[in-house]
Structure 1
Amino acid sequence: MGELTELAEWVALIDACVEPIARRPVDLTDPDWVRKMREGPHPLDEAGIRPEAEAALRDVLTRYEAGDDGVRTALRALLERCHHFTWATTLPFEPTPRGFRQLLLQMSVEDQGLDTRDMMLTLHDLCGQARDAGVDIRPLLLEVAGLSSGVDKYGMGSTRHILLRAAGREPRGLW
């Protein structure tokens, strides 16, 4: 796993840069708090590290896809430790099979993040967008499920199980 050391340090540094932004309190009593959040700068832009963070995520996904079970397990553990990185760093959706697959790989390596329900809602939305763009989602869901963890972290099924379930359902009835 020595080849992951530099990547792990890079992700940890990005995580540390966005942590203060992620932990900043939000005044939920302010009636405009949602608007302010939407209109404010993206956390990566505010920290001035968007290109570096997106490059790091692409590197994570490349290594995750090409790696063996040990590499994938190590990358899942890295992103579990660096949850501020995962909170702030996403790739834009490209309405193509490759774009859909990249976001599925991101879900797989994030391994449900901090909340399975958020992952499931995001997956449902992503599958709908991909289907609307004409992407055949089933083979991609099955492929990425094969790379995913079989550990049921939160009692709602493993990432592998959730992706397989999404692949086996009717197009609009994922859950």
Structure 2
Amino acid sequence: MGELAELAERVALIDACLAPIARRPVDLTDPDWVRTMQEGPDPLDEAGIRAEAEAALRDVLTRYEEGNDGVRAGLRALLERCHWFGWATTLPFEPTPQGFRQRLLKISVEDQGLDARDMMVTLNGLCGQARDAGVDIRPLLLDVAELSSDADKYGMGSTRHILLRATDREPPGLW
């Protein structure tokens, strides 16, 4: 089995462990439902797979960054199929150019996930954090945009277009 096939198998297994947690009904009639969700355990901890999930995410991002167009397209397709993996796995923000780049790579490989608006809100917040930390975000946005998809999945522009549009803002990243 090739390295990418093995990685896809790992991600699919993690996704399957997270699906029941992600699909669990939320009682919106409970006035404390937001607090209950916020105070509940992190899905990775609840499933007992944090270490495996974080390692798999680091592998996905490394292969995405180092791979060719075909590898990147395959990884985007994998995360589209395994969207609970993308939903639950995160990277802490490190206030460095590399930390910002890693978070941009995750945005790029997720290719807008299930909703382009959520991706744009995340991108805007991330750009603000990076700017506040003194990171020059424009070259990093341009760099990751080159790795990103040109497909306009939801009629709001492709991931590449959205990242490039963020470079045109003053300050960069603000919508």
Closer, same or farther: CA 155–139 of 1 in aligned 2, 3 Å: same
Unaligned ranges ≥5, structure 2: none
- In 1: Cα distance, 2:138 partner to 2:62 partner: 21
Q: Equivalents in 1 of 2:9, 2:2: separation in Å?
A: 12
TM-score, structure 1 as length reference: 0.98
Q: Is the Cα–Cα contact under 8 Å of residues 83 and 113 in structure 2 kept in the other structure? A: yes
Q: What are the equivalent positions in structure 2 for 1:1-175 lying under 5 Å apart?
A: 2-171=2-171, 174-175=174-175
Secondary structure of the structure 2 residue equivalent to 1:146: helix
- What is the distance in 2 between the residues matched to 1:16 and 1:163? 30
Instruction: Report the count of equivalent residues.
Output: 175
**Unmatched 5+ residue regions in structure 1?**
none
Moved over 3 A (4+): none
2: CA distance, partners of 1:94 / 1:157: 28
State the Cα deviation string for residues 56-109 of structure 1 (Å, max 9, x = none): 000000000000000000000000000011111111111111110000000000
Q: TM-score, normalised by structure 2?
A: 0.98
Partners of 1:140 and 1:57 in 2: CA distance: 20
Q: 1:173/1:163 Cα in 2 relative to 1: closer, same or farther (>3 Å)?
A: closer
Q: Distance in 2 between matches of 1:129 and 1:92?
A: 12
Could you give the per-residue CA deviations for residues 44-64 of structure 1, whole angstroms, max 9, x where no partner exists? 000000011010000000000
The percentage of aligned residue pairs carrying the same residue is: 83
Aligned partners of 1:147 and 1:162: how far apart in 2? 13
Is 1:165–1:174's contact at 8 Å kept on the other side of the alignment? no
- How big is the alpha-carbon RMSD for the aligned residues of Structure 1 and Structure 2? 1.2
